[in-house]
Amino acid sequence: MSQRSCLSVILAAGEGTRMKSAMPKVLHAIAGLPMVAHVVKAAEAAGATGVALVIGHGAEEMRRAAHKFAPKAETFVQEQRLGTGHAVLAAREAISRGYDDILVMFGDTPLIGAGALTAARRKLAEGAAVAVIGFRPPSPAGYGRLVERDDHLVAIREEKDCSEEEKKIGFCNAGMMAVAGKHALQLLDKVGNRNAKSEFYLTDIVEIAGAGGLDVVATEASFENALGINNRAELAEAEAIWQARRRREAMLAGVTLIAPETVYFSHDTEIGADTVVEPNVWFGPGVKIASGARIHAFSHIEGATIASNCDVGPFARLRPGADLRTKAKVGNFCEVKQATIEEGAKVNHLTYIGDARVGAAANIGAGTITCNYDGYSKFFTDIGEGAFVGSNSSLVAPVTIGKGGYIASGSVITESVPDDALAFGRARQKTIPGKGKELRERFASAAAARKKAAE
């Protein structure tokens, strides 16, 4: 089957009114990725070599988004929403290029996996003209019913067009199907709109193909995989299913999740074996973690690379461009952005490191801040190998601390510090013997005088 060419036509022109959103429904994200992008990924994993996105509502926004998540996809605008059959024909130009298999999919069914699509394509390879993906929802109301006879699908009946008898059928249309490319256009062109909704139903091709003596079958996907998203409650349901699957996959691959239900992955999180993730950790997009790291509780991590045996958190925030090398440590209430923390370096407490390099084995004291922004531009701070930055120091970028440089606590460093130098950037301490006692007595008698005057 692998040598059969395949075009995936993804329907995403609908408005999605029930999302109550200014953004097109299918751009709402699951695991940080638009749901329609999950659909594209599934199609590609099932062997689709071409992707045709049928868009309508919010077409400009859809095009811009598609350019990012599926740069190779072609977009086709369906000007009027006249039904799913009509929508597929918006991609006529792509279909007529001649593919062996056409996979029709919905942009709002993000959990469909390659497995269900491959099963449908296999039926085409075995000679079927149409293979419809069915499922058994807890309640069939609202779905098209699959009417079967002798292992063959004879019709899909939309709820509104069902007889009382047909309404009892529990096997429903998930919406997606594989259609043999050589028959696709001729079947679709025969679809009319004489039904309860006066729409051109894609599902009508089942009866049309049957009447033409072609073989039509149904395959079955799980309810979870076929879940269609119409509102934000269903979006959250799909997110929960996605997260549960990903957590399990991570654990089976050797990652310890102490409280898996509190750890949130992104669609692209990479995490190595023997890494331990404590409770309540959030991974945004673009995170790569090697093996043997420990991510302590309540850390928020996105766009970061974490090498093996690093130690992060609790309550650490790693932002895009944070690059932690082997055995680096970023401790509690630290924020790191666009900065490399080299091997064995420590940024342990209450610190902001942005646009910087912290050299190997350097130690950054509590409360250190890289002052990287003057309100207009960002500047770089370079901290050498083995440097020691005393607590509560401000490093005003651009600035360089040389190898083994030593910064006194509470310094404001505005000039670069050579290798192995000690730098103070604060007023020297002055100690006056007995002055404390004198002040205390003066303040006490002043307070007593004020109290007496008020009586």
| Nearest to 109, CA basis, from 172, 61, 196 | 172
Q: Give the shortest CB-108-to-ligand UD1 separation in angstroms.
A: 5
Report yes or no: 313 and 295 within 8 Å, Cβ to Cβ. Answer: yes
- Position 175 contacts ligand UD1 (CB under 6 A): yes
Q: Give the shortest CB-37-to-ligand UD1 separation in angstroms.
A: 14
- Position 156 contacts ligand UD1 (CB under 6 A): yes
Task: Kindly report the three-state secondary structure assignment for every residue of the chain.
Answer: CCCCCEEEEEEECCCCHHHCCCCCHHHCEECCEEHHHHHHHHHHHCCCCEEEEEEECEHHHHHHHHHHHCCCCEEEECCCCCCHHHHHHCCHHHHCCCCCEEEEEECCCCCCCHHHHHHHHHHHHCCCCEEEEEECCCCCCCCCEEEEECCEEEEEECHHHCCHHHHCCCCEEEEEEEEEHHHHHHHHCCCCCCCCCCCCCHHHHHHHHHHCCCCEEEEECCCCCCCCCCCHHHHHHHHHHHHHHHHHHHHHCCCEECCHHHEECCCCCEECCCCEECCCEEECCCCEECCCCEECCCCEECCCEECCCCEECCCCEECCCEEECCCCEEEECCEEEEEEECCCCEEEECCEEEEEEECCCCEECCCCEEECECCCCECCEEECCCCEECCCCEEECCEEECCCCEECCCCEECCCECCCCEECCCCCCCCCCCHHHHHHHHHHHHHHHHHHHHC
Please state, in angstroms and rounded to a whole number, the distance separating the CA atoms of residues 52 and 222: 25
Please state, in angstroms and rounded to a whole number, the distance separating the CA atoms of residues 120 and 220: 9
- Position 84 contacts ligand UD1 (CB under 6 A): yes
Q: Give the shortest CB-67-to-ligand UD1 separation in angstroms.
A: 19
Q: Give the shortest CB-81-to-ligand UD1 separation in angstroms.
A: 4
CB atoms within 10 A of CB 437: 9
Q: Which is nearer to ligand UD1, 28 or 357 (CB)?
A: 28
Q: Give the shortest CB-25-to-ligand UD1 separation in angstroms.
A: 7
- Position 210 contacts ligand UD1 (CB under 6 A): no
Size of the site for ligand UD1 (CB under 6 A): 27
Q: Which is nearer to ligand UD1, 86 or 121 (CB)?
A: 86
Q: Give the shortest CB-115-to-ligand UD1 separation in angstroms.
A: 18
- Position 143 contacts ligand UD1 (CB under 6 A): yes
Contact region for ligand UD1 (CB under 6 A) — 45-53, 84-92, 260-268, 366-374? 84-92
The residue within the footprint of ligand UD1, chosen from 76, 99, 106, 265 (CB under 6 A), is: 106
- Position 173 contacts ligand UD1 (CB under 6 A): yes
Q: Which is nearer to ligand UD1, 59 or 185 (CB)?
A: 59
Contact region for ligand UD1 (CB under 6 A) — 12-20, 58-66, 326-334, 437-445? 12-20
Contact region for ligand UD1 (CB under 6 A) — 10-18, 259-267, 300-308, 392-400? 10-18
Q: Binding pattern to ligand UD1, positions 41-80, x when CB under 6 A?
A: -------------x-----------------------x--
The residue within the footprint of ligand UD1, chosen from 24, 144, 303, 402 (CB under 6 A), is: 144
The residue within the footprint of ligand UD1, chosen from 172, 238, 322, 330 (CB under 6 A), is: 172
Q: Is 86 a catalytic residue?
A: no
- Position 38 contacts ligand UD1 (CB under 6 A): no
Q: Which is nearer to ligand UD1, 203 or 368 (CB)?
A: 203
The residue type found at 95 is I
Please state, in angstroms and rounded to a whole number, the distance separating the CA atoms of residues 140 and 214: 27
Q: Which is nearer to ligand UD1, 204 or 311 (CB)?
A: 204
The residue within the footprint of ligand UD1, chosen from 107, 181, 313, 425 (CB under 6 A), is: 107
Check 57, 267, 300, 349 and give the catalytic one.
349
Q: Give the shortest CB-22-to-ligand UD1 separation in angstroms.
A: 17
- Position 228 contacts ligand UD1 (CB under 6 A): yes
Return residues touching ligand UD1 (CB under 6 A): 11-14, 54, 78, 81-84, 86-87, 106-108, 143-144, 156, 158, 172-175, 201-203, 228
The residues annotated as belonging to the active site are 349
